[in-house]
A = this chain, B = another copy of it.
Amino acid sequence: MFMPVGTQATVKTLTPGELTSAGAQIILGNTYHLYLRPGADLIARFGGLHGFMRWDRAILTDSGGFQVFSLSHLRDISEEGVTFRSHLDGSPHVFTPESVVRTQAQLGSDIAMVLDECIPYPADEDQVVLSIDRTTRWAERARNAHDRRDQLLFGIVQGGMFPHLREESARQITALDFPGYGIGGLSVGEPKEVFYRMLAVSADALPWDKPRYVMGVGAPEDLFEAVSVGVDMFDCVLQTRLGRNGSLFTRSGRINIRNARFRVQEGPIDPWCDCDTCRTFSVAYLHHLFRAEELLAYRLASLHNVRWTLKLVEEMRGAIKAGTFAEDRRAFLDNYRPADEGARDEQRRRWLAAQGRS
């Protein structure tokens, strides 16, 4: 299942009603952002994130760890937890394995994630060994602190780009017996073949009867790869971020709707897609909205990318049941031209910039 990302208690530009119509069963909320603004206390007063943003399907919250390491002004990592300054106002804060469990209990998500240590990329073996051990100790503390019985708590596997450390981390984390597992520390700037190898190793080392969730992944070719190695859950900001930039998914690859060749094009973005945008508006109209910088453009494009991806994942589920996943994947990839590495490069730059700040 694909989870659209609702960082600040909203999947950018879209209403809960539109997400429901688009087939979203679960969305992701970012604990780091929500903790800072509007604050977990306030959200709890409004019935948790479900009540506050009026979303009645499932929510997964991350631990905030990734954002602390990438967005905030990191001050100090110790055995106790992470001290950082808010990217909003510079105010000081501490996240510990216990505090992020409490915060997520206040947010009232259906699935919470443990705090893990996110290390720079690249990282050497000694550094990774230390980090997986700490991630395991933090996971155990999180599990002990977790007492909201209507909420699942997932562990997270780390291990850098070392297959044997990925396996070791999985052994340690699965020994704590979580109801599901995240695969962390990937898609942080490593080459795609390394990403795919680490993904396969990590998935393979996790129990087949528990959901496996690879965090921050959402490009179509990556979804096929991840599903093929046994991953069940994904989240990504790509769909909405690209949408706001005018980059739209089609079965043959992404298009930039601002391109002059779309000025007079009739018909939908992608005839395969059944989103409201494709069922209602021409490519030429979307092109016009983007050229005119109309706010309607961003929501129509976000809706398309979200529904397009959810439909793709629905097809994958159908193909798995029908036993045709391998052919379907091949057929899709034969036709789909993946985007260049621009988006991944940007992610790497931001990650490295964040490391430099800390």
B294 touches A10 (CB 8 A): yes
Interface residue A289 (Cβ < 8 Å from any Cβ of B): yes
Collect the chain B residues with CB atoms within 8 Å of residue A164's CB. Answer: none
Collect the chain B residues with CB atoms within 8 Å of residue A263's CB. Answer: 38, 42
Collect the chain B residues with CB atoms within 8 Å of residue A86's CB. Answer: none
State which residues 249-278 of A face B: CB under 8 Å. 263-264, 266, 276
A296 touches B13 (CB 8 A): yes
Within 8 Å by CB of A281, from B12, B13, B54, B244, lies B54
A52 touches B285 (CB 8 A): yes
B292 touches A295 (CB 8 A): no
A292 touches B14 (CB 8 A): no
State which residues 38-72 of A face B: CB under 8 Å. 38, 42, 45-46, 52-54
Nearest B residue to A293 via CB reads B8
Nearest B residue to A303 via CB reads B15
Q: How far apart sit A295 and B280, CA to CA, in the bound complex (Å)?
A: 21
Interface residue A355 (Cβ < 8 Å from any Cβ of B): no
Interface residue A282 (Cβ < 8 Å from any Cβ of B): yes
A291 touches B37 (CB 8 A): yes
State which residues 1-22 of A face B: CB under 8 Å. 8-10, 12-17
Interface residue A288 (Cβ < 8 Å from any Cβ of B): yes
Collect the chain B residues with CB atoms within 8 Å of residue A296's CB. Answer: 10, 12-15
Shortest distance from the beta carbon of A8 to any chain B beta carbon, whole Å: 5
Collect the chain B residues with CB atoms within 8 Å of residue A52's CB. Answer: 282, 284-285, 288
Interface residue A181 (Cβ < 8 Å from any Cβ of B): no
Chain A positions 337 through 354: 1 when the CB is less than 8 Å from some CB of chain B, otherwise 0? 000000000000000000
Shortest distance from the beta carbon of A49 to any chain B beta carbon, whole Å: 11
Q: How many residues of A contact B (CB 8 A)?
A: 37
Interface residue A329 (Cβ < 8 Å from any Cβ of B): no
Copies of the polypeptide in the assembly: 2
Shortest distance from the beta carbon of A338 to any chain B beta carbon, whole Å: 27
A292 touches B8 (CB 8 A): yes
B37 touches A280 (CB 8 A): no
Interface residue A87 (Cβ < 8 Å from any Cβ of B): no
Shortest distance from the beta carbon of A56 to any chain B beta carbon, whole Å: 11
Interface residue A84 (Cβ < 8 Å from any Cβ of B): no
Interface residue A299 (Cβ < 8 Å from any Cβ of B): yes
Shortest distance from the beta carbon of A159 to any chain B beta carbon, whole Å: 34
Interface residue A298 (Cβ < 8 Å from any Cβ of B): yes
Q: How far apart sit A16 and B14, CA to CA, in the bound complex (Å)?
A: 16
Q: How far apart sit A14 and B296, CA to CA, in the bound complex (Å)?
A: 6
Collect the chain B residues with CB atoms within 8 Å of residue A9's CB. Answer: 285, 288-289
Nearest B residue to A294 via CB reads B10
Nearest B residue to A287 via CB reads B38
Shortest distance from the beta carbon of A219 to any chain B beta carbon, whole Å: 23
A residues touching B (Cβ–Cβ < 8 Å)?
8-10, 12-17, 37-38, 42, 45-46, 52-54, 244, 263-264, 266, 276, 280-282, 284-285, 288-289, 291-292, 294-296, 298-300
In the complex, 27 of the A-B residue pairs with CB atoms within 8 angstroms, ordered by the A residue number, are: A8-B288, A8-B294, A9-B289, A10-B294, A10-B296, A12-B294, A13-B295, A13-B296, A13-B299, A14-B296, A15-B276, A15-B300, A17-B280, A37-B288, A38-B284, A38-B288, A38-B291, A42-B284, A45-B264, A46-B282, A46-B285, A52-B284, A54-B280, A54-B281, A54-B285, A295-B295, A295-B298
